[in-house]
């Protein structure tokens, strides 16, 4: 009995000794880290030869060079908040380096920063327009997908013009990378923003061979960053094909039925006054049809919503005739949005970024096997019909 008690006491003492060490063996002091919260990648505009091959006969062939910018936050940048004269220290520090591959270029940053770069809190990767048009996205992102320190939830965006400009702000307390993440939360209230694409999702898209969209971001002259449309990535080349504007994204959202909310601005034909329809729900069904060797699609779109605002003061909102007229006006506007984006993706870009091919694959797998190799080309030629049904379920508290 005494022997058992001694053993128990020794076990308890050992636990007490080890307890303070729990969770500390791999601990990293935050004061010693430079936390990377965002990364931008741009095609190097200087066109200078690489150091290792410059002036060397028979050296490696010239490769396009990439300028990588990491946005760091440290205990110093986020904790001081002090003012010197009229200027205030920025809440972030951007460091850039240029090279022809990703990891060696990132390692060269060690020569310029005094803290250990730590990417486990990285929130966003932004790729510049010129780089996305020039290089295969799979090659650009290979390191980030493989890197264990990168979070799978890291967002991927395309910048119109230079990506590094997106990581700059004129407001000292702003951290642009974190602001971008917050901006994606608006997806549920508008049809003009795409659902966020993360590193986890992009890997499947890159290997699918299908064309797809990535959220586009711009930096206007006033220095504020803004989501503006989407980038069309061609499936075969995995390169940037072009851009869709905000209205075209609205049309695409109606086609896919993936919108969670948003507004439609229509015009009352009787009075010429604007009416704003707020989406409470939407759904879309893409139906493929096969007739011999001919492929076609029907799109059935339905939505329920409310009159959020109208300027037709001569009409009572609850009147059946006015409600039917409003539903018709909204339907025509949605049809116009759908027609415009279909024309763009079918005839200009020739890229199925809205899932028609996937619907064909599911319903007619034997047909899909014969067309999947050149599906984007086939998609550009198939007829597509669409029908929109709008139902107003709510018209607010006013009867005017």
DSSP-derived secondary structure for 202-214: HHHHHHH---EEE
What stretches in the chain show pLDDT beneath 70?
1-33, 46-62, 74-88, 114-115, 222, 315-318, 396-400
CB atoms within 10 A of CB 313: 8
pTM above threshold 0.75: yes
Q: Token pair of 251, please?
A: 């049309």
Coil/strand/helix, residue 33: strand
pLDDT at 51: 44
pLDDT at 34: 77
Compute the 3-state secondary structure of the chain and give helix, strand, coil in percent, each to the nearest 5: 35, 30, 35
Secondary structure (3-state) at 242: strand
pLDDT score recorded for residue 400: 46
Distance of CA 120 to the CA centre of its chain: 20
Angle ∠(340,134,212) on CA atoms, nearest 5: 40
Interatomic CA distance for residues 373 and 357, integer angstroms = 11
> So what's the pLDDT on residue 114?
67
The H-assigned helical ranges of the chain are 2-18, 75-79, 102-108, 129-134, 137-146, 176-184, 199-208, 246-256, 320-343, 356-363, 365-371, 375-379
Closest CA to 304 of 203, 388, 379, 362: 388
Query: Is there a contact between 306 and 277 (Cβ–Cβ < 8 Å)?
Result: yes
Place of tokens 């107003």: 392
Task: State the alpha helices, DSSP H only, in 161-198.
Answer: 176-184
Strand partners, 157: 126
Q: In whole angstroms, how far apart are CA 177 and each of 37, 149, 209?
A: 6, 18, 29
């Amino acid at each position: 009995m005494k022997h058992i008690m001694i053993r128990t006491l020794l076990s308890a003492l050992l636990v007490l000794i080890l307890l303070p060490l729990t969770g500390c063996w791999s601990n990293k002091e935050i004061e010693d880290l430079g936390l990377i919260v965002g990364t931008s990648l741009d095609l190097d505009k200087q066109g200078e030869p690489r150091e290792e091959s410059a002036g060397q006969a028979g050296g490696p062939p010239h490769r396009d060079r990439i300028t990588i910018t990491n946005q760091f936050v440290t205990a110093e940048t986020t904790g001081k908040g002090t003012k010197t004269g009229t200027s205030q220290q920025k809440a972030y520090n951007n460091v850039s380096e240029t090279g022809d591959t990703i990891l060696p270029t990132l390692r060269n940053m060690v020569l310029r920063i005094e803290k250990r770069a730590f990417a486990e809190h990285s929130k966003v990767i932004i790729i510049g327009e010129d780089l996305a048009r020039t290089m295969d996205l799979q090659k650009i992102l290979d390191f980030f997908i493989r890197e264990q320190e990168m979070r799978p939830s890291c967002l991927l965006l395309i910048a119109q013009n230079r990506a590094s400009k997106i990581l700059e702000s004129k407001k000292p307390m702003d951290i642009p990378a974190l602001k971008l993440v917050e901006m994606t939360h608006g997806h549920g209230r508008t049809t003009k923003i795409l659902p966020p694409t993360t590193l986890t999702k992009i890997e499947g898209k890159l290997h699918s061979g299908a064309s797809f969209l990535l959220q586009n971001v711009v930096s206007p002259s006033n220095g504020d960053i803004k989501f503006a449309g989407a980038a069309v990535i061609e499936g075969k080349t995995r390169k940037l094909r072009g851009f869709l504007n905000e209205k075209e994204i609205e049309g695409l959202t109606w086609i896919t039925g993936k919108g969670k909310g948003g507004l439609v601005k229509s015009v009352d034909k009787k009075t010429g006054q604007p009416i704003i329809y707020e989406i409470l729900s939407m759904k879309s069904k893409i139906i493929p049809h096969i007739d011999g060797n001919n492929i076609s699609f029907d799109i059935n779109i339905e939505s329920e919503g409310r009159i959020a605002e109208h300027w037709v003061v001569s009409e009572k909102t609850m009147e059946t005739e006015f409600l039917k007229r409003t539903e018709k006006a909204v339907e025509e506007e949605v049809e116009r949005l759908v027609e415009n984006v279909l024309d763009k993706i079918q005839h200009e870009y020739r890229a199925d970024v809205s899932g028609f091919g996937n619907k064909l694959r599911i319903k007619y797998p034997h047909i899909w096997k014969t067309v999947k190799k050149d599906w984007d080309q086939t998609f550009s030629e198939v007829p597509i019909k669409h029908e929109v049904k709008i139902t107003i379920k709510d018209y607010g508290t006013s009867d005017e």
